[in-house]
Amino acid sequence: MDRAGGNGAGRRKRLLGDCSRGVRGPLLIVTGGVHGNEPSGVEALERVFAELERTRAPLRGRFVGLCGNLASLERGARYVDEDLNRLWTTERVDASRGGTAPATSESHEQSELLEALEAVLEPAHEGAALLDLHSTSGAGPPFAILSDRPDNRRLVEALHVPAVLGLHRDVRGTLNEWFDSLGHTSVVLEGGQNADVATRARHESAIWVALASLGLLEEDCGVDFDAHRALLEASTAHLPGAIDVCLRWGIDPGERFRMEPGYANLQRVQRGELLARTGRFGEIPIRSPFDGMLLMPLYQEQGNDGFFLGLVNASPARAGHDPRRRS
Ligand SMILES: [Zn+2]
């Protein structure tokens, strides 16, 4: 079977593409638009499926592209009722299967997405991997979010982006965490700023590199993988191979959180530096408690993660990165 996605006009479909050439091999699922204000991953998937359809490149296994939050993509909002990327706890997944989840727009999205994922996972494959494509409200280079496992690290190393470790402790119920809990390779790629044209190019390159790295496409299949690797590496060469997240600033209801202007993802910050203001009237300064790296500063209305702070992971071997790439 081989179905390419649409051209992006009108309402999108859940299934963006499903490519196999009848040759047994691994399964790669790529998701885009789990947050509706992050359409770049969806657009990248549409382009890759169109290119695979055009070139008929020989492919082992199966490559499936799924659209995350259809209703919120249409509105250009992160979500409609609740964050779809916080609903993948055991309780909510069970409730979704049992039809007892709350009647929200995202419950509906989750139930369709869960059904699609489980249908794809059902036939036996030589390993399964999920690459979940996201982008951020703040500017900055691409990076990956993963749990610290060798298969996850191998994929991230192939993508030439910094590995952000330990985020699962603070952010529960992500699609990535659920897929990881099934024992499959599971990586989130944050491609850059939501509206930056470079973000889609990075997402597209990451899909091609993942297809090669996981063994679905051969290096000599006609795709310029080196150019895709170079594109990713160009914006990450100055960054450490891995970062351990050690602090999350969560925003409570009623809190007027405002990030100080001009912060970017993976920006180094110093102890005592003013990062944001918060409180009922936005009057309380928040200063960095240590020298570290800032992650995902919040520059949008929706969301309850103000920012994260991490420390450079001192062990390149642990992250599986080439030490030459370390800053
Ligand atoms: Zn996102």
pLDDT digits (tens, 9 = 90+) for 115-153: 999 999 998 888 999 999 999 988 889 999 999 999 999
Cα of 205 vs centre of ligand 1, distance in Å, is 18
Cα of 50 vs centre of ligand 1, distance in Å, is 24
CB 142 within 8 A of CB 306: no
The confidence band for 12, taking pLDDT boundaries of 50, 70 and 90, is: confident
Cα of 132 vs centre of ligand 1, distance in Å, is 9
Question: What's the token pair of residue 24?
Answer: 């047994």
The confidence band for 10, taking pLDDT boundaries of 50, 70 and 90, is: low
Residue 265 phi/psi, 5-degree rounding, is -60, 145
pLDDT at 325 over 70: no
Cα of 21 vs centre of ligand 1, distance in Å, is 31
Cα of 222 vs centre of ligand 1, distance in Å, is 32
pLDDT at 305 over 80: yes
Residue the block writes with tokens 């030439």: 160
In tens, the pLDDT along 190-234 reads: 999 999 999 999 999 999 999 999 999 999 999 999 999 999 999
Cα of 38 vs centre of ligand 1, distance in Å, is 6
Q: Helix 105-121 and helix 90-98: axis angle, to 10°?
A: 90
Cα of 35 vs centre of ligand 1, distance in Å, is 5
Cα of 197 vs centre of ligand 1, distance in Å, is 16
CB 204 within 8 A of CB 282: no
CA separation for the pair 286, 104 (Å, rounded): 34
Cα of 307 vs centre of ligand 1, distance in Å, is 14
Cα of 226 vs centre of ligand 1, distance in Å, is 27
* Range in 73-87, 269-283, 308-322 with the lowest mean pLDDT: 308-322
Cα of 175 vs centre of ligand 1, distance in Å, is 11
Q: Report pLDDT for 121.
A: 96
Cα of 24 vs centre of ligand 1, distance in Å, is 32
Q: Report pLDDT for 37.
A: 96
The confidence band for 284, taking pLDDT boundaries of 50, 70 and 90, is: very high
Q: Report pLDDT for 320.
A: 42
Q: Report pLDDT for 140.
A: 86
CB 64 within 8 A of CB 18: yes
Interval 70-84 mean pLDDT:
96
pLDDT at 8 over 90: no
- CB neighbours (10 Å) of residue 183? 10
The pairing of beta strand 163-165 with beta strand 242-250: parallel
Residue the block writes with tokens 């190019």: 201
Residue the block writes with tokens 């570290």: 292
pLDDT at 321 over 70: no
Residue the block writes with tokens 């999205």: 109
165: which strand partners?
A: 146, 244
Q: Report pLDDT for 5.
A: 39
Mean pLDDT of the chain: 91
Task: Please list, in sequence order, all residues whose beta carbon lies within 8 angstroms of the beta carbon of residue 253, skipping any fewer than 6 positions away.
Answer: none
Cα of 136 vs centre of ligand 1, distance in Å, is 6
Neighbours of ion ligand 1 (CB under 5 A): 35, 38, 134
Cα of 89 vs centre of ligand 1, distance in Å, is 17
The pairing of beta strand 267-269 with beta strand 284-287: unpaired
Per DSSP (E only), the strands in 117-241 are 128-136, 143-146, 163-165, 185-193
CB 51 within 8 A of CB 205: no
Cα of 135 vs centre of ligand 1, distance in Å, is 5
Cα of 188 vs centre of ligand 1, distance in Å, is 9
Cα of 133 vs centre of ligand 1, distance in Å, is 8
Comparing 195 with 66, which gets the higher pLDDT?
A: 66
Cα of 41 vs centre of ligand 1, distance in Å, is 10
The rounded radius of gyration (Å) of the Cα atoms in the chain is: 19
pLDDT at 300 over 50: yes
CB 227 within 8 A of CB 148: no
- CB neighbours (10 Å) of residue 247? 15
Cα of 221 vs centre of ligand 1, distance in Å, is 32
- CB neighbours (10 Å) of residue 272? 10
For residues 18-42, one letter each, b for 16 or more C-beta atoms within 10 angstroms of the residue's C-beta and e for the rest, the string is: bbbbeeebbbbbbbbbbbbbbbbbb
Q: Which of these, 36, 40, 109, 68, lies nearest to 300 by C-alpha position?
A: 36
Secondary structure of 210-257 in the HEC alphabet?
Answer: HHHHCCCCCCCCCCCHHHHHHHHHHCCCCCCCEEEEEEEEECCCCCCC
Question: What's the token pair of residue 29?
Answer: 């699922």
Q: Report pLDDT for 315.
A: 60
End-to-end CA distance of the chain, in Å? Answer: 45
Cα of 34 vs centre of ligand 1, distance in Å, is 6
Cα of 273 vs centre of ligand 1, distance in Å, is 26
What's this model's pTM, rounded to 2 decimal places? Answer: 0.89
Residue the block writes with tokens 């973000």: 199
Length of the chain: 327
The confidence band for 4, taking pLDDT boundaries of 50, 70 and 90, is: very low
